[in-house]
Every structure is written in C-alpha cells, then in structure tokens.
Structure 1
Amino acid sequence: MASLDLVMDRSSCPDPSDKRHPHPCRTLLSVAVVTGGNRGIGLEVCRQLASRGVMVILTARDEKRGSEAVEMLHESGLPGVQFHRLDVSDPSGAARLAEFIKEKFGRLDILINNAGVIGATAQIDTTTPIQEMLVGKSAMERLQWLLQRSAESYEEAEECLKINYFGTRYVTEALLPTLLSSSDGRLINVSSNYGLLRCFSGENLKQELSDVDNLTVERLDEMSELFLKDYMNGQLKSNGWPDDSEYLAYKVSKALINGYTRIMSKKYPKLRINSVHPGYCKTDINFDTGEYTAEDGASCIVSVALLPEGGPTGVFFFRTEEAPFV
C-alpha cells in the first residue's frame, strides 16, 4: 500500500531526548489486524499481508494456537507478525486490543474481520478418511454431502450471531478511532454469498436490509434478536427469514454483516469499508469440502484490502469482483 505513510513502532523507538538517535525509528508501511488468524483463511491472510511488508497483528481466541501460528510464520521468514489474544465476542477484549495498537503504533491501517463460526455441527463417520468419501464429487455435491450431515441447535444459532455479527461490530467499534487515524484506512468484513438477500424468503426483510439510507445498527441488533426469537418459536418461514434448513443463523449473521458494512461505509466515507466473499474454500470449518484453497480465498480478501487509494467502499465483492448485495 504505497499510499500509506510509514508508521512508528513506539515500543522500539529510542528515547527522543537521546542525542545519539536524532531521528525517530520508522518501520513498516502499514499495520493490520486480522481476527481469527490462527488457521484457515485467516492465517493465510496474515501470511500474504506480512509477505507484502505489512505489520500484522494476528488475533485468536486460543492463546496457544495463536502463538504457535505466529511462531510458524516467523520460521517461514515473516518476522513482521505479532500475536494478541482476542475473543471477538468480548467487548472488553476488543478494547484491550485497541489500547495495545494505540500505544504501540498510534494508528491502524487495515482491519480484517475474519473470525466466525458456521453455527452448526456435522455428524461424520471418520472411520473412512473424508477425502476418500468425496472422491469424484463436484464442489456442489461436496457441499450437499456436508449439509446432509449437519444440524444446528438454538444454542449454536445464538453463538453464531454473537461471534459473527456482534463480534464484528465489537471489534470494529473498538478499533475505529485508530483506524480513522490512518490516512487511508481499510476495513474488510469477510462475508459469504449465503448472506445475500436472495436467501431470505420475505420481501419485507429484503427491502428493509436493502434500504441503506434508513437502516441503522440499532435495527440490525433488533433483527438479530427477532431472528433468535422466531427461531425458538418455529416462526422463521412465516416472518421471512431463510427457511431452507441450511445454516440459517450463518446466513442471517452474514446478511447483518453486509448491512453493517453499508451503514459504516456511509457513515465514515474517509475509510474504505467492504464485504468480501472469498469463495467456498477448503478449511476446517467445512471439513475441507470447499472448491478453493484457503490460500486462494485469502488472496481475494488481501486483493480487496490493498486496492489503490480512492477505491470502492460499501461494496460486496464476490471474490474480487463487485457484485450486488441481493
């Protein structure tokens, strides 16, 4: 990102009063935070950003796994990656991360909200290697194979909204002041084609989520609560939610993220704020049944994050192409 100024790593700067070091120390071109960075697409995003000279803060809920991921990146020749523990569903953790970045770097240039869960559990007989069972199947056939073995509970739906939607919001709002301190801040919300409005059965919900001029974050929060209430009461179809029994909470969480992207891009035109669907990628979350590799999916996210200054904002990217939210 040549348009970004060099940033100052204050933890390694000499004492400004020390005359032996008259110039402030300057390090990398930009600073990025990646949530859910310890594996899968998130880890590959960290790898690809770091390989481009970006200082990356890899965050993960599990400290051991996060630290091991950073160590692996260091061993591969990418020292510009640091670990910071973060549970995205905990607002206080997001606040601690924001304070760390403010103290160490003074600003944030790129925030990639990648952390998420599928909101369902798959019951799979692992006595036969999964890849052997999927030989010869297309990506769509592999997805259907997985869906036939998956089920979601109310508790999983609740967790899915808490992590995917509210977690994205908590982290974004905590880091927003430091992101606004950048001369060309970028915010990427990792989304999905499952969050497109075509997945909803009711026209009223589609229209409301499309009306970005009147949509508010408060209303998105209310929609999350209404979805869970209707889920519990068996009223999803009658009230216009996705009703095809396939990753229902995941679809709603990603639709709310897309709405959040549009609201924030309108509110903060200085920033480049977009949603990206990286494609159906082979990761642990789907038992490696996807069509694309994690590296390939990550490259789509990184490409959008590093678009030239003045690029689009408030856009849904289907991989690297602009696409409608519907």
Structure 2
Amino acid sequence: MFTIDIQEKIEKLEGDIKKLKLISSSNEIDLSDKITDLENKLKKLTSEACINLSPHEKVSLSRDIKRPTTKNYVSKICSNFIELHGDRLYKDDPSIIGGIGNIDEFSVTIIGHQKGNNVHENIKRNFGMPHPEGYRKALRLMKQAEKFKRPIITFIDTPGAFCGIEAEERGQGEAIAKNLFEMSKLKVPIICFVIGEGGSGGALGIGVGNDICMLEHSVYSVISPEGLSSILFKDPSKSKEASEVMKLTSQDLQELKIIDKIIEEPFKGAQANVEKVSEDIKSFIIERLNHYKELSEAEIITQRYNKFREIGKCL
C-alpha cells in the first residue's frame, strides 16, 4: 500500500524517537531538542506519504479489515447507547445497526453500516451489505428520531446494497428509494460520515444529510472500481486504472462540492489512532448540532435541499 522505502523511513524515525525518550528518562538527560526535531521530521514525512497516496491505495486502505467500524466509533463518541432492532416488517438486518444515545448534551439517533473485523463477523454482518430490511430499519429509526426531535448521525461503510435474488424479491430498490425520499424531508438535522467504503445506492440509502463528511482515506462512488473496469475496460483486473478516473477520494469530492468536510486520518489510516479520529468526529458533530439548534425545522429542510441542488453546478 505505502512504498517500502517510505514505510521503512517512518518506522526508523519512530524507533529513534522511542530510543531517545528511553535514554532521556532513564539517564535524566535532556534530549528534548533532538526528540522534537525527529518528531517534526516524522510529522512531515507521514503527511507527505498520506498526500501522495494514489486513489487505488485509498480504496485498499478503506477496505482494510482492521479499519474501525460504526460500533468502534459509537463506543468512543457516544454514552448510554441503546441499540434497537428490526424493521417491524420482516426481520433484523445486522449489516445496519442503529439506536439512541447521548453525545454530550445532545440526545441523538445513530445509524450505520456494520462490517466485521474478522471473517466470522463479516459473514454475520454480510460484509456490510444491507438487505431491504436494513434500510427499512434505518428509516423506522429516522422517523422515530423526527418524532422525538433527535438529530440523526449516520456512518457509511458498505461496498453496496446486497444484490442477491432474495433482496430483489423483497424490494431492495424500493427500500433505498423510499429512504432517499423520506430523508430529504426529515425535520431534524442529519450528519453523515463516510468512514470506509461509500458504495453506490447502498451508501446513499443512509447518506442524504445536511452535512456530509468523509474520513481522509475513505472513498465514495456510484460503483466500485472493479465494476467500472468491467464496464469501461471489459476487464475487472484493471480496477487500479479505473480508480484513477473515478474521482472517488475525499479530496476529489470536496473539490466537487459533494462533501462538506474531511476528517484527517493518521498515517496508515484511522485504525492507527481511532481515539483521535473519534475525537475529531465528535467535535464536528457538536459544532454542527449547536449550529442547527438556532435553525427552524423549515430552515433545516431547506438547507439540506439546497445543498443537493448545488451539486454539479461547478462542473
């Protein structure tokens, strides 16, 4: 993913800093100047490494099985979280989780795609690919949030909605379309975060928000690079070339005014420091919810509507 040369340099600097700190503390020698100098070099090198990541490398990083999931972020930013289950029509879908919790002074509804951190959990969660009942559960919780005037936070991380025959039989397209329609007119603020993969309608099904944010190394696109390469190049193995033309990185999408905010990640991704990334997510949520406290329901709906009407005007 990262070039071996850059990774070796970063690991050497990290080792040197650790050694100097150990020598300084055990021998009571002031090496703060040298330590600071190495830390600045490390910060510069890791920053350059992250900036120079190719779109294909970002796709790989967004799919890393060690990448933090919705549950990881909820546990860091939210207190008293109670998960709610079922769509009241068919069954519960574990690939989308949702519930009620507190973020500082705010009572919120949180909904997100849920992948696993190992093969067993990924099978249980259907690799984060929801069935129609997942989207219907999400909509049930969003309508409940509107009724009790709770802001909605969503976490997007899916390769796409499940495309099996049984999902189509139960109305996959209708479930996603209804979510888009209903989310566009909800009377409470919605803040969406793309934390890994944001794939196709599966992502959009919980992605209509007043604010749309992406983690720095997440991706957001209408189709996977493998899918596009199959269509465009008639060869699914050319996903690397497809990634280069898709404009799916956070920087591309902010430039196109599709997203509003990029949450920075450490070198090697959010999994390297989930506490810091969670803290930044929480700070942004609190900042925006304080802003929306001053707006009426009509103003919240209008702001969301205008945001999506503006997309594409810069092209």
* TM-score clears 0.5: no
Higher normalized helix content (fraction of residues): 2
Tell me the TM-score normalized by structure 1.
0.35
Report 1 or 2 for greater relative contact order, CA contacts < 8 Å, sequence distance ≥ 6.
1
Tell me the TM-score normalized by structure 2.
0.36
